[in-house]
Amino acid sequence: MFSRADTFEDKNEGVERLLLQLEAASPDSGCGMGWSDQKSARTEHESLKRSHFISCWSANPESVAMWSLYSPDYCSVRISTSIYKLEGVVQELLGKYCLSRLNESNIGERVVVALAGRIAPVTYVSLAEIAARVSRRAKARIALANRYRRKGQPMPTINWSDSNYWKREQQRRFVELQTACSLKDNSFQHEQEIRLSVRLGEEYCTPRVLEEQALLDPLHPYSSTLRSSLDSWGFVRNIAVPEREFVACSEKLIESVAIDPRCPPHKAAFMKAWFEDRGVAVVQSTCFGYLPAAFEVFPDG
């Protein structure tokens, strides 16, 4: 199951996009970001979140916090798999929204296409701290621009050929803001999340869009140009997309399961038998256990 980012409880999903634009914006640059106040910022943010389908996993197999959050009835299971197998799941959703599904009957319509898919760990930072630093930089640029404006002077131009400028610019950049929906506040750090993410884009279907379908073949001599073309597609704004997407998985996706250690014994026995009858290995979680009960050697009394 992939869920749209705007259905998550964390309202700050995808906020790195806004922070990156705020960090990069310059007064009088002529490069609009599509938002300029609280209301338009919220609209832009919601469009971004509607454009990302996400499936959440964890790199930590043993976590009391995760059992407590996701197994309130003590009867949930933890599924284990591999990154390699999850790549196939991402490919399934990419295929559902692939550019190749469009045909001449779609010309003139607004259509949604999968632009990119990725599997990556979430980065955890203090969002409040990054937002404060980005705001300070933006305020400093505005103050500098106003100072030159009062003097009736233009802002100094950038020497684009100066390699030192680019080095300084790279050092000032927030590497955490380079991707969307992969940044969360430190308060979620217990999740150690690995995300499967598929980004959608919305645009009018034109004859040129259909011509670009040929570039999907990696053997095409100009296949690399498709990426830059799709990157120009906007976020999903007008077309209704489902809150959740379900894709078919291989029967071999699940490598093992662990039953909540707090599960009542009769239920745990039934669940263990059910999984083992289907060839799924059942392993024991080490959470909530009483360690002395597992001692195999003892001192002399």
pLDDT tens sequence across 240-254: 999 999 999 888 999
Q: Is-contact 279 55, C-beta < 8 A?
A: no
- Identify whether 73 is part of a domain: no
Instruction: Please check the confidence at residue 30 and state whether its pLDDT lies above 60.
Output: no
- Identify whether 68 is part of a domain: no
pTM: 0.85
Nearest-angstrom CA–CA distance, 214 and 73 = 51
- Identify whether 144 is part of a domain: yes
- Identify whether 289 is part of a domain: no
- Identify whether 110 is part of a domain: yes
As a whole number, the mean pLDDT across the chain is 88
Centre a 10 Å sphere on the Cβ of residue 246 and count the other Cβ atoms it contains: 10
Q: Is-contact 102 205, C-beta < 8 A?
A: yes
Q: Report the amino acid identity of residue 300.
A: D
Q: Report the amino acid identity of residue 81.
A: T
Site of tokens 């869009």: 209
Instruction: Please check the confidence at residue 226 and state whether its pLDDT lies above 70.
Output: yes
Our count of domains for the chain comes to 1
Q: Is-contact 77 258, C-beta < 8 A?
A: yes
Site of tokens 């009483």: 290
Angle formed by the axes of helices 38-50 and 15-24, nearest 10°: 130
Give the strand order in the sheet containing 256-259. Answer: 77-80, 256-259, 281-283
E-strand spans in 59-177? 77-80, 110-121, 123-125
Q: Which residue has the higher pLDDT, 74 or 180?
A: 74
φ/ψ region of 121 (left if φ > 0, alpha if ψ in -120 to 50, else beta) reads beta
Of the listed ranges 28-37, 57-66, 74-83, 118-127, the one predicted with least confidence = 28-37
- Smallest CA-to-CA distance from 203 within 107, 100, 117, 112 is with 112
Centre a 10 Å sphere on the Cβ of residue 62 and count the other Cβ atoms it contains: 12
Instruction: Report percent pLDDT > 70 for the chain.
Output: 90
Nearest-angstrom CA–CA distance, 48 and 188 = 21
Instruction: Please check the confidence at residue 31 and state whether its pLDDT lies above 80.
Output: no
Q: Residue 141 carries which DSSP code?
A: H
Q: Checking DSSP bridges between strand 77-80 and strand 281-283, what pairing results, if any?
A: unpaired
- Identify whether 180 is part of a domain: yes
Helix, strand, coil proportions of the chain in percent (round to 5)?
Answer: 45, 20, 40
- Smallest CA-to-CA distance from 55 within 96, 83, 17, 74 is with 83
For the segment 125-172, what is each residue's pLDDT rounded down to a tens digit?
A: 999 998 898 888 888 877 888 888 888 887 776 665 666 655 655 555
What is the residue range of 171's domain?
A: 2-59+97-249
Q: Checking DSSP bridges between strand 256-259 and strand 281-283, what pairing results, if any?
A: parallel
- Identify whether 157 is part of a domain: yes
- Identify whether 193 is part of a domain: yes
